[in-house]
Structure 1
Amino acid sequence: MLAYSCHQFDNLSAETPIVVFLHGLLGSGQDWQACIAHLKNLPIITLDLPAHGHSQAIEPEDFVTVCQQVEQTIISLVPTHHPVVMVGYSLGGRIAMYGIAKHLFNELNLIKVIIEGGNFGLEEEQARQARWINDCQWAERFENEPIERVLSDWYQQPVFSSLNHEQRQTLVAKRSDNLGASISRMLLATSLAKQPALLAELAKSNIETHYICGEKDNKFSQLAKQSGLSFSQVAGAGHNVHHEHPQAFAREILHQFKLASASNQQQQESPWLKQ
């Protein structure tokens, strides 16, 4: 079972959905603390994905195994049939989308998934091959070099261009607790090169998917706009919205939570809607 933390479970009711947060590569459940501070009335579970945080000793194998570990951990904590809203950032978002598209979360009463900056998958074989070469190079560096040095270069990638120097240094210091060899294995096990294109299957799912991206995150804003999914942008934010603007991100989560709760309540009161 994955490491986890539960928040605000004291007054849990049968009707109130539980929000489950999945962090990105190099992160942990602690990443969501600033956001959770603005969600004081919601029951929340944060997970540490394999090879991260207090789950560092758990070996990542592939997308299927990671999705199974996520589901099994949630099942152990959440009452049967209790509604769940899942929030995933970057890698966590890709895991959430994979689990939905491949029907790996069937034991959960998942009523909505919220994706922050997650890639739907690469359509072209050439792009997948190029991504695999790139991920292998990073994985080798994480395996063999001091992690502080690798992280300094990692956060220079174009996707993090909205970060200033101070923000980059903060992230390098924060992420240096990771074990380079563990991150290397997770990077290869869940590489975007190994992820099929998921958008078509997500569109067919009866689980609503909402996408959140930063206004300055041009790449993922374009992906969101072209996806056909409901999406929202956070002004002034880049790729890591919940880190850069936790209060604004929390407002988006709360809004989507209320929509999901109302929809779920309506279905409970009108069983014919499920037919």
Structure 2
Amino acid sequence: MASNPESRGLPLVLLHGLLGDGHDWQDVIDALPGIECHALDLPGYGRNQHLRVDGFDEANAWLSGELETRGIRHYRLAGYSLGGRLALYHASHSPAGLQALLLENCHPGLPSGERAARLRHDEEWASRFEHEPLAEVLADWYRQPVFADLDEDGRARQLARRLGNDGRAVAAMLRATSLGKQPELAPWLASTGLPLTWISGNRDQKFHRLACQLVEQGCNINHLALDGGHNLHADQPERFAACLRDWLGST
């Protein structure tokens, strides 16, 4: 999915989160006229529901191949949650064409001592997505603390939007890109010269706290805090698009 081919400037590549697809960015794209946007479907989702990757290296190879297929050589990259983690991993491998990075409610990676517990946690969810009715798993998924800003109507809307997923594909991607498999990238963040903006929702206590900790550790990020929860670009697309416009203008 791409915007008007007559758009000007460096392309903006957008990566969605777990359970989503490229269409999640459409309201943001609509608020960015004149910007060439490429909202990709990650492996296991949308038009790529049939694709599988095994780990971050394969996911990064897929992303690099997708950019090459689209003829994108110089670009700016934005990602949300899982998409943010993949974008961060991609950036840490110093691709020549990447000019700037923006991450929304993203995790920089766990210390090695915490990864085994996270692998077990994600395997429990993956097994549920693989074997249980999707609606039942989603009902529990959206009751996790990270989605505490959602009321009953908000949870119902999210559940309805995600029923088009294939539980087996979700399980495969969850296993492949578990936070337990992601390297800790805070040291890279402390040394990179890449222009990097990090957006967190101050009502998403976990991810907002992570972003604040990165700033306190001296990481090279421009931290913006919005009044909102975990999925800022879906809940307030026009405001998020305004942040993107400012970021695009500054990079």
TM-score normalised by L of structure 1: 0.86
Helix, strand or coil at the partner of 2:248: helix
Corresponding residue for residue 10 of structure 1:
6
Moved more, 36-45 or 221-230: 221-230
- 1:91-145 deviation digits (Å, cap 9, x = unpaired): 0000011111133x34xx11111000110011151x2122111100000000001
| 1:70 aligned onto 2:63 | yes
Q: Relative to structure 1, is the Cα distance of residues 132 and 11 closer, same or farther in structure 2, using a 3 angstrom cutoff?
A: closer
Kept after mapping to 2: 8 A contact 1:48/1:54: yes
d(CA) in 2 for partners of 1:245, 1:110: 27
Identity of aligned residues (%): 35
Corresponding residue for residue 171 of structure 1:
158
d(CA) in 2 for partners of 1:200, 1:100: 13
| 1:234 aligned onto 2:221 | no
Which of residues 19, 29, 35 in structure 2 aligns to 1:36?
29
Query: 1:76 Cα shift?
Result: 2.0
Q: Rg bigger for which structure?
A: 1
Q: Relative to structure 1, is the Cα distance of residues 219 and 113 closer, same or farther in structure 2, using a 3 angstrom cutoff?
A: same
Corresponding residue for residue 85 of structure 2:
94
Helix, strand or coil at the partner of 1:212: strand
Query: 1:6 Cα shift?
Result: 1.3
d(CA) in 1 for partners of 2:153, 2:48: 28
Corresponding residue for residue 115 of structure 1:
103
d(CA) in 1 for partners of 2:115, 2:43: 23
Query: 1:88 Cα shift?
Result: 0.2
- 1:231-255 deviation digits (Å, cap 9, x = unpaired): 10112x1011011111111111111
d(CA) in 2 for partners of 1:202, 1:141: 34
Kept after mapping to 2: 8 A contact 1:100/1:202: no
Corresponding residue for residue 225 of structure 1:
212
Q: How many equivalent pairs are there?
A: 246
Corresponding residue for residue 257 of structure 1:
248
d(CA) in 2 for partners of 1:79, 1:194: 28
1:44-55 aligned at under 5 Å gives the runs 44-55=37-48
Corresponding residue for residue 198 of structure 1:
185
Consecutive unaligned residues of structure 2, counting only runs of 5 or more, are 216-220
d(CA) in 1 for partners of 2:29, 2:152: 26
Kept after mapping to 2: 8 A contact 1:214/1:239: yes
Kept after mapping to 2: 8 A contact 1:160/1:238: yes
Which of residues 247, 251, 258 in structure 1 aligns to 2:238?
247
Amino acid at match of 1:245: Q
Query: 1:35 Cα shift?
Result: 1.1
d(CA) in 2 for partners of 1:131, 1:222: 19
Helix, strand or coil at the partner of 1:194: coil
- 1:168-218 deviation digits (Å, cap 9, x = unpaired): 111111111000001001000000000111011133223222101112112
The runs of at least 4 consecutive aligned structure 1 residues that moved more than 4 Å come to: none
